[in-house]
Amino acid sequence: PYIPVRFGRAYAERIPGAQLLELPDAGHWPWLDRPDLIDRTLSFFSAREADLDSPA
């Protein structure tokens, strides 16, 4: 890989609220390698953001 996963892990540990998602069997084009995971991931984060934006 161009950027080792350990760098992503290090960033995620140091950025408050950050989340790192490692996609198994996905390369540099994960939307082509694992469209199933990309779809679920985007749906999850979109729903979570929508919940954060809605009035309490």
Question: Residue 50 has what pLDDT?
Answer: 72
- How much of the chain is helix, strand and coil, in % rounded to 5? 60, 0, 40
Domain count, the chain: 1
12-49: per-residue pLDDT in tens?
A: 999 998 889 888 888 888 899 999 999 999 998 888 87
* Residue 54 in domain: yes
In a domain, 9, yes or no: no
Domain that holds residue 40: 24-56
Identify whether 8 is part of a domain. no
Q: Does residue 2 fall inside a structural domain?
A: no
Q: Mapping DSSP to helix (H, G, I), strand (E, B) and coil, where does residue 36 land?
A: helix
CA 35 to CA 31: how far, in whole Å?
5
* pLDDT at position 56 over 90: no
Q: Side chain identity at 33, as an amino acid letter? A: D
2 touches 28 (CB < 8 A) = yes
